Every structure is written in C-alpha cells, then in structure tokens.
Amino acid sequence: MPARRGPRPWRTIIVAYQAEPGTTVGSGLLAGLRACSRQICKTHRMPTDLHKIREVRARLAAEGPPRSRGPERDFETVALPDRDCDILRDLLIAEGARTVVEIGLAYGSSALAIGEALAEAPNPQHLIIDPYQHDAFTNVGWDLLRNAGLESTTSLYANPSSVALPQLIATDITADAAFVDGSHRFHEVFLDLYYLRKIVRPGGLIVLDDGWVPSVRSATRYYERNLGWTPINNAFARGTQQALGDGPAAEAVPRCRALRLPDPPFEPRFEDFVPF
C-alpha cells in the first residue's frame, strides 16, 4: 500500500542549523519554512551513495563513535549491535519500506541501517525522533548520518516522542514501518505504540529494541492481546540474545522483536478487554 506523503517538517532545517532551545517561530515564517523545505528537498535531493553508507556503518561498528556522552562502554550498551542492524535492514528491504519512523537516534547505528535499507527505495523518508541528540549526544548520530550522505532523506525531530508523534499524525503521513528504541518506561513505550498504530500503515511493521525488558514486553503485550498485533517470532532469531531474568535457567530471547499490525485495523469494544 503506497504511503501518503506529508510535508517535510521544518524542524529538519532548524535542527541542521542547531537553533537555540526555546526559539519560537511565527506562523507566517513557519509556513514559509515548510514551503521552502519542500522545495529544497524536491529540487536538490542528491542520489544516495550506498557505498558511503556502508563505509560509515562499518567504521562505526569497528571503531565506535568519534565521541561519547560519557559513561564507560556507553556505545556498546546503548547502540544496536551490528548483526541486529543487518537484520533490521533486511526486514525493511523485504518489506519494501519507503517511509520509516525511528524513535531514538543516539549513536546512529540503527539509523544508518535504516538509511541503507531505504537507499534504493523510491522517494524515501526517514523520520527520527530524539530530544537528547543535541545536548546529551552532541549530535554524534546526526553527524554520522550526514557523513553517510543521508541528510536529504532524513528528518530529525528534537521534541519528545509524546509531542513529535502527534505532530506527525497531524501531517497525515503514513509510514511502512517503525523502529522503537526510546524511553523504556512502561507508560512511554505504551504511548509510543499507541501513536505509531495511527502512523504505520495497516499490515505494516513495528520493531522494538530491548524487547526483553519487562516494561517493554508488558506494553507490547497489550497490543498483541487486544489489538491483533502479530509477533514475527523468527525475525531476530539470528540476532543478539538476552536472558529473561538473572538466574542460570533464565530463558534467552532475541534482543529485538518485530510485530505486524493487523490489516484491516480495528477498534475493540471495551467489553472485550483482555488483561495483559
């Protein structure tokens, strides 16, 4: 099903020039920026260099990021491992994805894999939400995307996902897939998934990192049991494994989970609620 194309967000331009926090833009100027953004993207989009993307990805996996936000081994802890990135890329290519929403940029490992998946897609759009990219990560992930030549097809929203996702809904955009690696608090994961079901097309794909974390698993379970989301059980079977619990007999499960949205979508009656 073709994705509806919404306007390119003006935040792409604002973030690229690192506007100061708290900057306000009048409605007339905002409309002009939106129109300008659409024209720039339409007129000056450069062909994506697949070799360059792979080169930046390989260097990040082998050497780590050029800078870190501070904690020891933060990159190894936070970033999606390279083999999971490969699986994510292959899933999106098999899906024929053209528009992908990503929550959480950090060091850019998953974003580069998504960029690689979209490199040869027609009219690709990669919409990334990360309120911490500038201050906490000093734009390291965004800079790597630019080094890979992906800035013309990628937009970065500096608002929290609870604000940015409704703004995307207001543009009437439809995505083919989403990758979720933002807050792991139950209520925030639940809210991300609530809004994404309004953005990702019926039958589309939602992939979550750290699906083994109890708060993430619980939030996802609601949508499986009440809204017909179907796990793709073997999607990340070759990926990184994580233990469910600390004991020696703890079950090992894939770090990432992939789920397919129902087609057609439906709203259940409140009487049909299934505890999760």
CATH, residue 136: 3.40.50.150
What is the span of the domain harbouring residue 22?
Answer: 7-44
257 and 120 inside one domain: yes
One domain for residues 100 and 226: yes
Map the chain to HEC letters.
Answer: CCCCCCCCCCHHHHHHCCCCCCCCCCHHHHHHHHHHHHHHHHHHCCCCCHHHHHHHHHHHHHHCCCCCCCCCCHHHHHCCCHHHHHHHHHHHHHHCCCEEEEECCCCCHHHHHHHHHHCCCCCCEEEEECCCCCCCCCCHHHHHHHHCCCCCCEEEECCCHHHHHHHHHHCCCCEEEEEECCCCCHHHHHHHHHHHHHHEEEEEEEEECCCCCHHHHHHHHHHHHHHCCEECCCCCCCCCEEECCCCCCCCEEECCEEEECCCCCCCCCHHHCCCC
Say which residue, 12 or 269, is predicted with more confidence.
Answer: 269
* Residue 1 resides in a domain: no
Average pLDDT over residues 205-220: 96
Q: Is 215 part of any domain?
A: yes
pLDDT at residue 23, as a whole number: 41
19 and 105 part of one domain:
no
Of the ranges 1-10, 20-29, 238-247, the best mean pLDDT one: 238-247
Tell whether 125 is covered by a domain: yes
- Asked if residue 122 has pLDDT above 60, the reply is yes
Question: Would residue 77 count as lying in a domain?
Answer: yes
For residue range 35-80, list pLDDT tens digits in order.
444 433 333 445 579 999 999 999 999 999 999 998 889 999 999 9
Q: Are residues 27 and 128 in the same domain?
A: no
- Based on the domain organization, do 16 and 58 belong to the same domain? no
Q: Same domain, yes or no, for 37 and 155?
A: no
Does residue 154 lie within any of the structural domains?
A: yes
Is 96 among the domain residues? yes
27 and 14 assigned to the same domain = yes
Q: How many domains does the chain have?
A: 2
pLDDT interval class at 101 (50, 70, 90): very high
Query: What pLDDT score was predicted for residue 128?
Result: 98
- Read off the pTM: 0.83
Q: How far apart are CA 257 and CA 264, in angstroms?
A: 22
Claim to verify: residue 163 and residue 189 sit in the same structural domain: yes
What confidence tens digit (pLDDT) does each residue in 140-149 have?
999 999 999 9
pLDDT at 146: 98
Same domain? 91 vs 202: yes
Same domain, 35 and 146: no
The predicted model gives 175-195 an average pLDDT of 98
Tell me, yes or no, whether 181 and 95 share the same domain: yes
Does residue 2 form part of some domain?
A: no
- % of the chain with per-residue pLDDT over 70: 82
| Shared domain check, 146 and 11 | no
Asked if the structure places residue 20 within a domain, the reply is yes
